[in-house]
Structure 1
Amino acid sequence: MQQDPDVAAAEIARLRRQRQQLEEELERHVGVRNAWRQLWHQVRASLLAYARQFYHQYFPHVGRRVRAMRRAQNPDFQPYQIKLPTPLPGALRPRILHAIPDLAVGGSQQLLVDLMETTGHILDYHIITRHTWGMPAYVGVPTQPVPYVRSVAAMMRVLTAAAPTLVHVHYWGNRAAAAEHWRWYYYVFEAAARLGLPLVENCNDPTGPYLHPHVARYVFVSQYALTHFGDPVGRNVVIYPGSNFQLFTRPATELPPPGTIGMVYRLDADKLDAASIDVFIEVVRRRPRTRALIVGSGTFDALYRQKVAAAGLGGAIEFTGMVTYQALPAYYRQLSLFVAPVYRESFGQVTPFAMHMRLPVAGYDVGALGEILAQPEVLAAPGNVQQLADIIIALLDDPARCQALGAHNQRRAQALFSLETMVADYTALYAEVLGSLG
């Protein structure tokens, strides 16, 4: 007997809420049972703060040496300077406080930057993060790291000092997926609720939202994400991440070069897995005149390089290491075809980048990729390396089809995934939640 979809949706929502309630009860229970552990964390945090102060005051040369070593490892990497527009004269700008675990290079972080650079004249943006990154990826906006908050009361003090009009949380997963992030989020949500601050929650990853009655809107980055993870009770909205297509474009007369495939990702387990490199090895092995470009760095970097070396293809598959946002278009311009060998994907802004560069895209049929591309023939069954390699080789051997797919991709990207559309949607959302932008 087929179950009614509304009944099934309500049951899913009930189970999600029950799971989160259990997680919250666990957090409170652990906090009571381990008061000494909590005290130790606070003492340790204080000692670390004093140690850092002592370190920076009396041993600055050590810090300079460490930073120099990191720059040497990534000589081309420079943090992106956020360009905030001049506030409108006399404008009463509501303060939007973004809460995000880190400011490394990524789609969630770029969304923040794009909003700041386009609406900073009417909105006052501040950021809190759970931890800082060794080499800052973005600079130029007030950012406060709050890594050692261990209670709701402590987070309330942070939010009170920041004095936001609205708190916009970028949620990356539940307790099982990221326990430390989840605890930090728990404090943010509870503190904002107790202070009566309006909340907007972005669900940028393929995971369920943090359910809280104080959240005014859950923002999902694709219809796929909303359908699979949205709260059936409502308060959901889909806003596609927008891309700066003035940057990610090419002249109408410029065709992509032949014979080069590539991907642009953090080489980490949030979207990729140990086998994601295999399709590049397979294509180059079967089509020796093909070159591959792997743009990005992360935990899989060494493993991927080992696999390529073991296959004897080091001369044909190039690894760029860490690359800045502003340098990405030059790497896309080297590609004939973009490959998305992901095992999960809620949106993936790197795909619209490729689309507007008039590149065909091929990948695994997972998450929102089908929704973004609207071309099922370029998607292989999840994890099927041979099938995806067949698709890629067939496209590389058919330049006319590649051009047609690239033109289709550019039109679709401009229609759905432009920066202007995203900014208009978020501005309308803030206006709805706040009542007015002033």
Structure 2
Amino acid sequence: MCFEQNLENESLKIPNIFKKQMSSLAIKIPRIFYYLGCLTIAQMIFRPAFSTTLSDYLFFISLIFALINITIKSEEIKYNIPNGLTIGVYLFLINLFLTLLFVDDSHLVKFSTIVAVKFLYLILIWFWLSMNILRTPSQVKFALICFGISCAISAVYGVFENPQYLWQRPKGMADHVNQFGATCGMGTILGFSYLWNTIRDFTKQNKTQLLVFLFIFISCLAGLYVSESLGSLLAVGVALLVWTILKGARLKKIIVVSLGILACWIFLLHQAQYNKYSIAQRFKRETNLNNRNATLTSRLLTYRVALERIFHNPLIGEGIGKKLNETGYEVHNIFLKVLFECGFIAMFGFVLILYSSFKHLIFLFNNSQSTEEKQLSIALLLCFIVYFVICLKEPIFYNRFGWLPIALALALNDILATKEAHLHARQPNISSSEISFF
């Protein structure tokens, strides 16, 4: 009798074990595709169909599997995107579609509509996907490492893209040299921020991590150098300054950062004597106000013409991707670009998106408890600072790779909030910090 009862219990356990394994596999599949998307996010030259990148397809497959998993389990969809991001996106889209009613160019209308749909998907759906399939800080960190490796691979490809013309601004695996410089800049600061802690707390256990971040840092630094992207170099410098402040402006850190900057500057000046394609030569050439074709001159002229158009009709834009006939260029500034192309309300919505993004990054930094969480929060903040500074002088802010730090930060914020809620449920007297409206 006892034997039969035990046999019956064991037979009941087998389906339960099978269900647990299937449930675990169901959540792992979308996460694996998400990691693959992060691993190919800088490889923008791979476009299987419809001008859509390989990374976009992988993230979309991840979304499909995540929705299938929710449907099978009959779970309620938890939509936890911050209100600031949601309202900002809607304001942006309302003003953009109002603008398109007054645009005569059909090609511009089509392009603007595609960008609008992608931006809506990026903020409201892709962010949600990140928050729902990344369940631990380690998973968020692994996604960030995949992003760093993707940037490093693109950087290595860019360095050896044209060996005979080594210093003629390659674009690596990106669509444009500006995007290449941006991914290299983000990878450089990511590798540096983790290398500092890994070297300081070096053990045999984190030897692999040290090698990975060393590869990311060296590769992206080399890619940043050959890209000759002055905006990316400036962005990395700003991020280093923020890192010094966040980590505590101790004498040791200040000396190390200062010596590193000085060594780079001496190297660039020395290299400029022998190579006309050096960064120093490009800086001198592109900031020459007497040269009408110089970058600085053309940007200032573009800003002036754009402001004249904006003051004429601030509520209605010209359409996304609109080039100024007077200069032949797009507006190379994130705020002026949105204001010129979409209108004042859209710019207000975009400012709301940026405000909400930085607010959550800072909240994450202030509320991280463990060393891993704190390091993750710093790396995500620095990466987004690099992207934001680059956007102040380049028209690249619709790119998915630049918003990945926000997607991962929201996921980590949600993880920490869930953990804090569990602690609060066990100890009701403990007060908890909450994110406000935005």
Q: TM-score range by the shorter chain?
A: under 0.3
Which structure's CA Rg is the greater one? 2
Larger RCO (CA within 8 A; separation ≥ 6): 2
- TM-score, normalised on structure 2? 0.22
Higher strand residue share: 1
Higher helix share: 2
TM-score normalised to the size of structure 1? Answer: 0.22
